[in-house]
Structure 1
């Protein structure tokens, strides 16, 4: 009979477990091991580095060599890989221990971790033996002397035994009501992994919490292993606790951000039934304000006098002022620089002000009048129509000179964005623009344009900077009136992208994008040049010049169009943890008509390199046109921050 301390969650916490000849009993709580955040180096600079030194001198250093031997059937080596990952002897073999005592301590910890790894693979009849310098770990006294002239040989011998399956499964509460955890795999006949039991407990408690029980818990657990039949019988008892509503919201940690504003933006209504998802949504909403470095929203551990659950919000504010610079480069369109300054908490309620400026086409022209530049002031105020809303406004002055037109403009815009759900938003606003335009149809044409953009966005991506799963859909309807020319038209545009990882480690990700748009109600010449559709360039069809795909005039200059189709496909391959390769294909067309007629697709293909950073991947793409015309470049090189889409 052997006593061991084990059974781990995914974070490798432990609870007491005792194995008997035919009976295995598990009880106690699972403790999660905290993970230490390490400093990292980028371009020679240490980020998030602690003030204290990481290096610790090892007293009486002792080196060792280790081998792991697994008997039995493991054709794919998956079990061996998991055992190696669980073993500190294996993972730390290149780091000496502090004498014989240090090696014995590491081996004792390893024994527990290896047994736990077997349980996670539903192997409850396995055996682990560790030999230090040819001597069994169990036979060594704590003060044993190991080693000689070279590294101490360490052998880990694992006989995993057969896999168990769940036998009888019973989940009930104190009143005898039965529950099912079959969706988590806790059902007769399923593989009896220890993590399935722990995950099922969490899911069952969460289900009760969603029904308004803030103090639900697993009050009893009994697990019996029948080694003869290879079955694991599981009995769980749940304690639901009282149903309770939310109480008052209290805020701790606020400094320059108004506490009452924080409580209102949390959006948890007093008197509504307790729901952990409301707490999670409140935390996400407060993080989105971008004024806090950390946010925690939780229910109190006890009921208040009126039987409600007080809500506790704890925040830590970040620096509210920031500034930055950026750069882009394209072999077809030249270089670009931008700079910005911002304030995240202008009046104490997370109001944002951002001043930004940029210049591009560097290296392609030496004349200031031919350069592209932009200056803008952006203001945002959250919570104007409740926690799910924000007011946004923009004042912008811009000059641009692409191949299709020359434009100087002053534009003012304001609108409201409202979050329907955590994944869905709608927005509405008004844009007023004065512009002086020269294009294929006009010279120094002055326009005053009023537009009413309405947009719907559904975004389920797991990351906005580097998504590996999910989708994004945007739909835009923009009624527009140009006052000087009297043109009235409606611009429609839809864009969808999807992402899917092909493996568990997410090193191979398929990414696709398709976009389409059309303009109804006015002729091509009547639509201001900057509001027509264009394609080509780094954010569109790579391998072609910026806005160079589509109709052209007699001089070969792009005119833009009234309809657009674009599509892109990428395979994002993680070569290392920081370096990635991305082969891609892009295609698109622009038509002068509103029905996509009279146009042909242009396609480009190439490969890109990605370098992962905390602020998004650095991107360099090289592409060639696949159906090149005489005016198209031989290739294009594009650089920037973030994925192409």
Structure 2
């Protein structure tokens, strides 16, 4: 049956209200049939549940379902008889019968429009304003942690700016509470001033600052009784500032182990706030542990040496009150041996009571021995001395503990040589070194040429980078055999002579400077004395003496005025009876800059085959030197103008006359192991034959 439908035109234009009347609908399943299909339920709520098998599906009884009534179209007063619509007849179109074009054949390249950059993400810019934190000194901390400032004033949209502002609200509240403003509040707002870019404003209202109303420490008795209270730098009335309170508690953890309590534990603080008085009751539990003293050593791991040698490195004795600064020093000494990939020192309780009532502590040294072999090199250049290269191979623990074998070689323009050294570091005492050495060398300077062999033994007590000592010393013995050419004034020609020399070199030093490699204040004094005997036809005893003083005075933070004075004397022997290699010379990078190596002092009247004056230095029995520098440093670089003076004399005591001066400027590059030095200098009132410009390159300051 066709349902009458109004045409589209009629529906759009007719103002008539359509009223719809629905015919009665009969139920699909009659009520009586539906009720009979329901299972029977027991009235006893405590009856057991029926088995699941009872619910198996059963075939429904066959019933006759009456046909649904055919719906009739609603009628209206204006309804017209409906006409049967003919089937739509489409014009014949062969294209519609063709298969669709595959999607892969379409060009999906975006269309680029001139002047429009679709690749650039949309971005808005904003300013950040924070109010209210200046008065509590919280603005700097806010800027360091702010989400708004971390965004660098850029965001994809305003919602992102709003989210950052909300995060900074909480940040402002945390900052206020950390400074004791527990009632502080913060709000944020996004503003768009006319003609300006977006602005995020965070406003903090700190309120009143809470202070400490009482301080209570729960701890055991200590010696002295007020030790914990003394080392907790808080007092009633102080603001409840998180940084200050944490620092005070950290001070307890730091200072008590320095005063005999290595096992101290600082517990969790408790602060009870009182809104009425705007104060807080502060309680801190501290477990001090036993008062302790140094006891024994033990060691474990991959060992470089045993526990007995650990005790040699310690600067404390058994029974001394425990001080963790001395334990840190012991660990630094272990590290400085260069024998470990890793090493730690940990205190352990022993339960053993010392006579003074303290408990002995065992120090457990955990070792992880590393590679003991080292290859090292050194290079330098000086006008008149040329290039000098030195290399060495070292096994630092070939003869434990800390018995090193060192093989050394030198190759240079004017020096070549090789040597072997046995060295025992920390020999029976911390920082005391014992050495046995054997060297053979050839030196070829303007003053002399020498083939020298040396056997020596030496004990020394030296400064180290981790412990710069005020007083240092060294003593030993040397046997030297040397064949040297020298100018013989009796025959007015050069001759080769062989000398045998025995020496007992002694050294003493006193140092108040602040740094071993790059001092900026203080002074140093050095004294060298060497009783010697020369055997060259006859035995001639004599003494060599050298004294040196340096001082460092800072001017501001960037400039250091440094000065040096040195004087030397040889007593008891004529200059011409002294081996040329044992005489004094001056000139060069470590002496008087501006002059070549060994260029100053008396000179020979030699002439070559063509009659030209060779004018070679001959050395002397005394010398005097002075130097003054202004060391200006900026960052890792520095500029050093300087002036040096000095002279060598034939007499046994320096006269101070005929001083020669050199001036120049140097550059410094500061590294973690010392400054790299480049100095350029020229002699003042230069004489014929002297260097015009002298260049010096080395490691370390000139003095």
> Match for residue 492 of structure 1?
545
1:619 aligns to 2:670 (yes or no): no
Q: Work out whether residues 246 and 274 of structure 1, in 8 Å CA contact, stay in contact via their aligned partners in 2.
A: yes
1:455 aligns to 2:511 (yes or no): no
Of 326, 330, 335, the residue aligned with 1:282 is 330
Following superposition of structure 1 onto structure 2, how do residues 151-550 of structure 1 map, counting pairs within 5 Å?
A: 177=225, 208-215=256-263, 242-255=290-303, 257-260=304-307, 262-267=309-314, 269-300=317-348, 302-306=349-353, 307-361=359-413, 371-418=414-461, 423=469, 424-441=471-488, 443-459=495-511, 463-468=515-520, 471-484=523-536, 485-499=538-552, 507-550=558-601
Q: What CA distance in whole angstroms lies between the structure 2 residues aligned with 1:583 and 1:129?
A: 58
State TM-score, norm by structure 1: 0.67
CA pair 389-254 structure 1, distance change in 2 beyond 3 A:
farther
Q: Work out whether residues 519 and 563 of structure 1, in 8 Å CA contact, stay in contact via their aligned partners in 2.
A: no
CA pair 159-625 structure 1, distance change in 2 beyond 3 A:
farther
Q: Which runs of 5+ in 1 are unaligned?
A: 1-59, 136-149, 226-231, 362-370
> Match for residue 16 of structure 2?
none
Q: What CA distance in whole angstroms lies between the structure 1 residues aligned with 2:649 and 2:217?
A: 63
1:381 Cα deviation (Å)? 1.2
Q: Work out whether residues 551 and 562 of structure 2, in 8 Å CA contact, stay in contact via their aligned partners in 1.
A: yes
Q: What CA distance in whole angstroms lies between the structure 2 residues aligned with 1:594 and 1:261?
A: 50
1:607 aligns to 2:671 (yes or no): no
1:293 Cα deviation (Å)? 3.8
> Match for residue 49 of structure 2?
none
CA pair 192-487 structure 1, distance change in 2 beyond 3 A:
farther
> Match for residue 634 of structure 1?
692
- The one of the two structures with greater contact order (alpha-carbon pairs below 8 A, sep at least 6) is 1
Q: What CA distance in whole angstroms lies between the structure 2 residues aligned with 1:90 and 1:522?
A: 83
Q: Secondary structure at the match of 2:576?
A: coil
1:380 Cα deviation (Å)? 0.7
Q: Secondary structure at the match of 2:322?
A: coil
Equivalent pairs counted in the alignment come to 547
Rg: which structure is higher? 2
Deviations 1:209-265 (A, max 9, x none): 45434345777989999xxxxxx999999876543222221223334x233454344
Q: Work out whether residues 148 and 168 of structure 2, in 8 Å CA contact, stay in contact via their aligned partners in 1.
A: no
Q: Secondary structure at the match of 2:298?
A: strand
Q: Work out whether residues 359 and 374 of structure 1, in 8 Å CA contact, stay in contact via their aligned partners in 2.
A: yes
Q: Work out whether residues 622 and 650 of structure 2, in 8 Å CA contact, stay in contact via their aligned partners in 1.
A: yes
1:532 Cα deviation (Å)? 2.3
Q: Work out whether residues 215 and 281 of structure 2, in 8 Å CA contact, stay in contact via their aligned partners in 1.
A: yes
Deviations 1:12-60 (A, max 9, x none): xxxxxxxxxxxxxxxxxxxxxxxxxxxxxxxxxxxxxxxxxxxxxxxx9
> Match for residue 38 of structure 2?
none
> Match for residue 564 of structure 1?
624
CA pair 73-156 structure 1, distance change in 2 beyond 3 A:
closer
1:410 Cα deviation (Å)? 0.6
Q: Secondary structure at the match of 2:528?
A: strand
Q: Work out whether residues 627 and 642 of structure 2, in 8 Å CA contact, stay in contact via their aligned partners in 1.
A: no
> Match for residue 10 of structure 2?
none
Q: Secondary structure at the match of 2:495?
A: coil
Q: Secondary structure at the match of 1:491?
A: strand
Q: Work out whether residues 550 and 561 of structure 1, in 8 Å CA contact, stay in contact via their aligned partners in 2.
A: no
> Match for residue 574 of structure 1?
634
Of 638, 649, 652, the residue aligned with 1:594 is 652
Q: Work out whether residues 87 and 114 of structure 1, in 8 Å CA contact, stay in contact via their aligned partners in 2.
A: no
Q: Work out whether residues 533 and 564 of structure 1, in 8 Å CA contact, stay in contact via their aligned partners in 2.
A: no
Q: Work out whether residues 592 and 646 of structure 2, in 8 Å CA contact, stay in contact via their aligned partners in 1.
A: yes
Alignment RMSD: 5.4
Question: Greater CA deviation, 351-360 or 415-424?
Answer: 415-424
1:508 Cα deviation (Å)? 4.3
Following superposition of structure 1 onto structure 2, how do residues 97-112 of structure 1 map, counting pairs within 5 Å?
A: none
CA pair 114-375 structure 1, distance change in 2 beyond 3 A:
farther
1:433 Cα deviation (Å)? 0.8
Q: What CA distance in whole angstroms lies between the structure 2 residues aligned with 1:128 and 1:501?
A: 50
Q: Work out whether residues 186 and 200 of structure 1, in 8 Å CA contact, stay in contact via their aligned partners in 2.
A: yes
Q: What CA distance in whole angstroms lies between the structure 2 residues aligned with 1:167 and 1:593?
A: 81
Q: What CA distance in whole angstroms lies between the structure 1 residues aligned with 2:153 and 2:394?
A: 46
CA pair 265-217 structure 1, distance change in 2 beyond 3 A:
same
Q: Secondary structure at the match of 1:432?
A: strand
Q: What CA distance in whole angstroms lies between the structure 2 residues aligned with 1:342 and 1:539?
A: 27
CA pair 437-211 structure 1, distance change in 2 beyond 3 A:
same
1:546 Cα deviation (Å)? 0.9
Q: Secondary structure at the match of 2:577?
A: coil
Q: Work out whether residues 328 and 639 of structure 1, in 8 Å CA contact, stay in contact via their aligned partners in 2.
A: yes
1:326 Cα deviation (Å)? 3.4
